[in-house]
Chains A and B, each alone.
Chain A
Amino acid sequence: MPLTQDLLPPDLARRLQRLELVTRKVFRGRMKGERRSAKKGQSVEFADFRNYVAGDDLRALDWNLYARLDKLIVKLFLEEEDLHFYTLIDASPSMAFGEPTKLEYAKRLAAALGFIGLIRADRVRVETLGGERSPVMRGRRGVPRLLEFLEKVEPTENVSLEEGVRKFCLRNSGKGVVVLITDLMDKQGYEAAMRYLVAQRVDTYVIQVLSGAEIDPDVAGDLRLVDCEDGDMAEVTISAPLIARYKETLATFTAGAQDYCNRRGMNYLLTSTERPVEELMTTWLRKRGLVR
């Protein structure tokens, strides 16, 4: 399937196999996973001892120690658990710009991240802000289903960022990692949406995708700019100061978003559609700690 190959080239997949998703927060997985958690649990791997308190599972008592010291000591084992990994794609019309389109880029990114999650036996789910959601997938066998779902994702009618995120949070109460792939271009602002995610107490990664034309616009003349989402029109006469001012505004905007996210324990990442997904995965996200 050429499109699938497009979303997740085999070459990229091979390189991604070595990676795994990381979360800095402690989450309770619903099922045993391959993930060694910070939580102590019931694996075969010994972790620590502690004194018995009433209510502890008697099966964890170290009887040998009790025999020797006459104290009730509980053996603690490392817990291995799975991870809830959500990818939230902004499929608003504004994402349909760029070469490749921002949506396309977002889908590739989602495919790559989902692939990592699936091969590490995490619970992977992809949703769009418009409300489309994939079933929860787990294990390597979920990869084709993931790609199939992603292929079907098309730009939907405009849903505000806040609305989309709010619905997502209502639908998914589970904790885990949420990667929000969006251009953040919402006239109502992104802050409300971010607050929902903060409240959800999920490990949030915000990846802002912008097209090259947005970062460095190549336009000239007297233009009437039409907003593809709400039809808003802005009449501009392109001049060097205007371009400079635009870039300045963009820089302020992205810096503001980064600042906002960092203050709230979220990770923020700005990328251009011109940056290859592979490079983003293997270098940038690795540095940011989303993958390892």
Chain B
Amino acid sequence: VNELFRNTLSPAQWAVLAAVPPAILALYFLKLKRAPLEVPSTYLWRKSIEDLRVNSLWQRLRQSLLLLLQLLVVTLAILAVLRPGWQGTKLTGGKLIFLVDNSASMSTRDGDGDGGADSESRLVAARKHVAGLIDQMDNSMSAMIVSFAGEPAVVQPFTNNRRLLRERLATIEPTVASTDLKGALELASGLASPAKTQANGEATDAAPADAEKAEADVRPEEPATLFIFSDGRFGDVKDFALGNLDPVYVPIGSDQTHNLAITALETRRSESDAGKLQAFVQAANYSDKPADAVVELRRGERLVDARKLTIPAGEITGATFPIGEANAEDEGVLEARLSSEALAISKDQLKVDDIAYAAINDSQASRVLLVTSGNVAVEQALVTGRAGRLGDVTVELPSFLDSNSYETRAAAGTYDLIIYDRCTPQAAPRSNTVYIGVLPPGKAWRPSPSPQPLTPNPSLSVPQIIDWNRSHPLLANVELGNFDIVESLLLTPPAGATALVEASEGPIVAVAPRDTYEDVVLGFPILVEIDGALQRNTDWINRLSFPTFWLNTLEYFAARQTVGDRSLHPGEAIELRPLSPATESIIVTSPSGKAETLRRRGEQPFVYRLTDELGVYRVTEGGRETRRFAVNLFDPAESDVRVRIDETPEEAEQALVASIKIGDLDIAASAGATPARHELWRALLIAALCLLVVEWWIYHRRVYL
């Protein structure tokens, strides 16, 4: 009976409901105060009644057809209140947490429908699942809804108000962000376990009443059921203990969903002609059939080029397009899109990643400052033909570091790159830096247990280079095994640093992030001053890799600033440096035209965080558009919209939906994936309504059977 019916009323409410049919009967008997009607004679009537009385009880019931109909209507209503249904999963436990993935891949339209644009998106399917589960909740259950993409958000804290849950559920909108399940899990477990509830209750101060209710609802010993509605497009979640959460993974979507995506769009100066720009487009085919994708490239409103890329199944293909003058002028927006015909043919189901944007900024030479007391080798390396096009190199003597003009520019971030050759500034500047033969100021690069702040690092004589980081862009195409170094510092890079060149004793070249900048430290000077004369400290300057390294350095730090910024991921914050140190506020306009004015304190750069839309954002400084940056999905995990399938060989023939892994726990996809219960109450209520209409008609038209 529990399977078939679900109680929704309290005993008191039941008592009231149970009183309704007797009340109707009573009303019918009370109604025996019949309307008097004078007739010429009751003679014939009496005879007729006597005839009828001979008949059965059924005759009498037929006379009160209206009573029967009313009782039937009430019966249907009571049945509807009992909520008969079948095939539902019985919800256990008093607390439910619904984690709804609203990342970019959930916009895939592979749900119910013809597979075209009218199909239901995965998010809608997930919402339906959740709604089905909400419908099954008893009064004693409370549920919480959390949506997760880039940032998890509590859509609705714990409540047993099903209507409120449904209303809030409908507010979950698709985003373009990537999936971050761990954050959602942390949020959910924080809200579900009482120890952390206090803190989170304060955090959700937007709805203090709800937070209070959540606290009241939470009972420490009660485990919560955690429903995860997602297409599984995320990595395993490590280092997370579910505790008393009982996870259920409901995969949404199909493994047969095809998708073409643009996974990269970059602009760079042409190798052959620095005045021209090239765009590099990478398209991926996430399907099991090769696809022909026509990539259209538009600059502003103008179609620049279109090219057909043949992408084998499951692979990525790139192409380079010339896109004309490096000068941005009014055409600072580059847009690459897959043509709609190609998308239709390959049954592309996700629209978000069919368009990519790139921002082209006015080509202004990046400014590079070389502070040296004289270093011909580096100066020469920085003024080669190609290097010269990448940046303006200014050479200053170390005494310049003490001047006011240096301090102002360093604090304002005027330079894109500052190279300190055997000299150290008082404080780290607001720019990327390269230190040659010295350590940056501050403690970060010193050995940590250092008793004194400026203990020199141990020096190495004739260090032997044993390895270098070939994958780092700074060392692209650089071969370092063929030169010697006389003397070098042994570096102790700070946390997060990447060792670029390792000697047998340890790293001698390393790069480490500092705020939003990066510091490169070469532990060995190129030239050393011995007895007033410059002498070589290394014969690297004779190798081809030397100018290549400096070219890489310029490209890495300076050139990318000029043409186009690296594309941001949705939700990623960007630091915007003003052109003029005096600028107090800038305006950032989103692709949809939403403008936001940013202000800053002191010399800090502006930080813009509302990168929730895909497209090109425009930065206006002093009434002039000074800069653009693009936000793109560019996330293979989101673009590959096929539901993850277990590829372990023994299960290959079944092609099971892969389980997700949280901590040490494998959570298998819940079987059937339709936990929603089929409810009859709507049909019952509609039937009751129809009966009511029939009853009204009978009453009104005096129709008697």
Tell whether B452 is near chain A: CB-to-CB under 8 Å: no
Q: Are B42 and A223 in contact (CB under 8 A)?
A: no
CB-contact partner of A239 in B31, B37, B43, B704, under 8 A: B704
Q: Are A235 and B39 in contact (CB under 8 A)?
A: no
Q: Are A219 and B44 in contact (CB under 8 A)?
A: no
Are A224 and B48 CB-contacts (below 8 A) given A185-B41, A241-B62?
no
Q: Are A242 and B63 in contact (CB under 8 A)?
A: yes
Tell whether A94 is near chain B: CB-to-CB under 8 Å: yes
| B interface residues, how many (CB within 8 angstroms) | 29
Q: Are B704 and A249 in contact (CB under 8 A)?
A: no
Residues in A neighbouring B705, C-beta threshold 8 A: 239-240
Cβ-closest 8 pairs across A and B: A240-B704, A185-B41, A94-B40, A224-B34, A234-B42, A227-B42, A246-B48, A97-B40
**Distance (Å) between the CB of B154 and the closest chain A CB?**
60
Alpha-carbon distance A57/B35, docked complex (angstroms): 74
Alpha-carbon distance A95/B46, docked complex (angstroms): 19
Alpha-carbon distance A102/B34, docked complex (angstroms): 27
Alpha-carbon distance A221/B46, docked complex (angstroms): 17
Alpha-carbon distance A243/B48, docked complex (angstroms): 8
The SS class assigned to the B binding surface is mixed
Tell whether B450 is near chain A: CB-to-CB under 8 Å: no
Tell whether A26 is near chain B: CB-to-CB under 8 Å: no
Which residues of B (27-53) have their CB < 8 Å from a CB of A?
31-32, 34-49, 51-52
Using CB atoms, name the residue of chain A closest to B37.
A223
Q: Which residues of A contact B (CB under 8 A)?
A: 94-95, 97-98, 102, 183, 185-187, 211, 214, 219-229, 232-243, 245-246, 248-250, 253
Alpha-carbon distance A243/B45, docked complex (angstroms): 9
**Distance (Å) between the CB of A145 and the closest chain B CB?**
30
Alpha-carbon distance A97/B51, docked complex (angstroms): 25
Which residues of B (434-458) have their CB < 8 Å from a CB of A?
none
Tell whether B59 is near chain A: CB-to-CB under 8 Å: yes
Q: Are A227 and B48 in contact (CB under 8 A)?
A: no
Q: List 20 A-B contacts (CB under 8 A).
A: A97-B40, A185-B40, A186-B43, A187-B41, A214-B39, A214-B40, A214-B44, A221-B35, A224-B34, A234-B49, A239-B705, A240-B703, A241-B62, A242-B63, A245-B51, A246-B45, A249-B44, A249-B48, A249-B51, A253-B47
CB-contact partner of B42 in A102, A183, A225, A239, under 8 A: A225
Alpha-carbon distance A223/B63, docked complex (angstroms): 13
Q: Are A223 and B34 in contact (CB under 8 A)?
A: yes
Q: Are B45 and A228 in contact (CB under 8 A)?
A: no
The SS class assigned to the A binding surface is mixed
CB-contact partner of A250 in B37, B44, B63, B64, under 8 A: B44
Q: Are A223 and B36 in contact (CB under 8 A)?
A: yes
Q: Are B41 and A229 in contact (CB under 8 A)?
A: yes
Tell whether B594 is near chain A: CB-to-CB under 8 Å: no
**Distance (Å) between the CB of B230 and the closest chain A CB?**
63
Tell whether B302 is near chain A: CB-to-CB under 8 Å: no
Q: Are A232 and B42 in contact (CB under 8 A)?
A: yes
Residues in A neighbouring B35, C-beta threshold 8 A: 221-224
Alpha-carbon distance A249/B705, docked complex (angstroms): 19
Q: Are A225 and B43 in contact (CB under 8 A)?
A: no
Q: Are A245 and B39 in contact (CB under 8 A)?
A: no
Q: Are B44 and A253 in contact (CB under 8 A)?
A: yes
Q: Are A211 and B37 in contact (CB under 8 A)?
A: no
**Distance (Å) between the CB of A49 and the closest chain B CB?**
57
Are A187 and B43 CB-contacts (below 8 A) given A234-B49, A240-B704, A241-B52?
yes
Tell whether B702 is near chain A: CB-to-CB under 8 Å: yes
Known contacts A221-B35, A234-B45; 13 further A-B pairs (Cβ under 8 A): A98-B40, A220-B702, A222-B31, A224-B37, A225-B37, A226-B37, A227-B43, A228-B41, A236-B48, A236-B49, A241-B704, A245-B52, A246-B45
Residues in B neighbouring A221, C-beta threshold 8 A: 34-35
Using CB atoms, name the residue of chain B closest to A235.
B34
Which residues of B (2-48) have their CB < 8 Å from a CB of A?
31-32, 34-48
Q: Are B59 and A185 in contact (CB under 8 A)?
A: no
**Distance (Å) between the CB of B26 and the closest chain A CB?**
15
CB-contact partner of A227 in B41, B64, B65, B704, under 8 A: B41
CB-contact partner of A226 in B38, B47, B62, B702, under 8 A: B38
Q: Are A224 and B36 in contact (CB under 8 A)?
A: yes
Alpha-carbon distance A120/B52, docked complex (angstroms): 52
Residues in B neighbouring A223, C-beta threshold 8 A: 34-37
Residues in B neighbouring A225, C-beta threshold 8 A: 37-39, 42, 45
Are A246 and B41 CB-contacts (below 8 A) given A226-B36, A237-B63, A237-B64?
no
Alpha-carbon distance A246/B49, docked complex (angstroms): 8
Using CB atoms, name the residue of chain A closest to B703.
A240
Q: Mark B193-233, 1 if CB is under 8 A from A, else 0.
A: 00000000000000000000000000000000000000000
Using CB atoms, name the residue of chain B closest to A218.
B702
**Distance (Å) between the CB of A82 and the closest chain B CB?**
37
CB-contact partner of A228 in B32, B39, B62, under 8 A: B39
Are A222 and B38 CB-contacts (below 8 A) given A240-B705, A249-B51?
no
Residues in B neighbouring A250, C-beta threshold 8 A: 44
Alpha-carbon distance A211/B38, docked complex (angstroms): 14
Residues in A neighbouring B59, C-beta threshold 8 A: 241
**Distance (Å) between the CB of B696 and the closest chain A CB?**
15
Q: Are B704 and A238 in contact (CB under 8 A)?
A: yes
Residues in A neighbouring B44, C-beta threshold 8 A: 185, 214, 246, 249-250, 253
Alpha-carbon distance A228/B43, docked complex (angstroms): 11
Residues in B neighbouring A238, C-beta threshold 8 A: 704
Which of B41, B46, B705 neighbours the largest number of chain A CB atoms within 10 Å of its CB?
A: B41
Alpha-carbon distance A236/B52, docked complex (angstroms): 11
Alpha-carbon distance A222/B29, docked complex (angstroms): 11
Alpha-carbon distance A97/B38, docked complex (angstroms): 10
Residues in A neighbouring B62, C-beta threshold 8 A: 239, 241
Are A242 and B48 CB-contacts (below 8 A) given A220-B702, A222-B35, A224-B37?
yes
Alpha-carbon distance A130/B296, docked complex (angstroms): 111
Are A97 and B39 CB-contacts (below 8 A) given A240-B704, A245-B48?
yes
**Distance (Å) between the CB of B702 and the closest chain A CB?**
5
Q: Are B40 and A211 in contact (CB under 8 A)?
A: yes
Alpha-carbon distance A236/B31, docked complex (angstroms): 13
Residues in B neighbouring A233, C-beta threshold 8 A: 42
Using CB atoms, name the residue of chain B closest to A220.
B702
Using CB atoms, name the residue of chain B closest to A221.
B35
Residues in B neighbouring A236, C-beta threshold 8 A: 45, 48-49
Alpha-carbon distance A220/B37, docked complex (angstroms): 11
Residues in A neighbouring B49, C-beta threshold 8 A: 234, 236, 242
Residues in A neighbouring B65, C-beta threshold 8 A: 239
**Distance (Å) between the CB of A244 and the closest chain B CB?**
9
Using CB atoms, name the residue of chain B closest to A189.
B43
Q: Mark B673-705, 1 if CB is under 8 A from A, else 0.
A: 000000000000000000000000000001111
Residues in B neighbouring A241, C-beta threshold 8 A: 52, 59, 62-63, 704
Using CB atoms, name the residue of chain A closest to B702.
A220
Using CB atoms, name the residue of chain B closest to A96.
B40
Q: Are A227 and B39 in contact (CB under 8 A)?
A: yes
Alpha-carbon distance A179/B307, docked complex (angstroms): 113
Using CB atoms, name the residue of chain A closest to B65.
A239
Residues in A neighbouring B37, C-beta threshold 8 A: 219, 223-226
Alpha-carbon distance A95/B63, docked complex (angstroms): 31
Q: Are A183 and B51 in contact (CB under 8 A)?
A: no
Alpha-carbon distance A219/B281, docked complex (angstroms): 86
Residues in A neighbouring B40, C-beta threshold 8 A: 94-95, 97-98, 102, 183, 185, 211, 214, 228-229
**Distance (Å) between the CB of B588 and the closest chain A CB?**
76
Using CB atoms, name the residue of chain A closest to B701.
A220
Alpha-carbon distance A249/B48, docked complex (angstroms): 6
Alpha-carbon distance A198/B703, docked complex (angstroms): 46
Using CB atoms, name the residue of chain A closest to B64.
A237
Alpha-carbon distance A221/B36, docked complex (angstroms): 11
Alpha-carbon distance A94/B44, docked complex (angstroms): 13
Alpha-carbon distance A239/B32, docked complex (angstroms): 15
**Distance (Å) between the CB of B54 and the closest chain A CB?**
10
**Distance (Å) between the CB of B175 and the closest chain A CB?**
64
Residues in B neighbouring A235, C-beta threshold 8 A: 32, 34
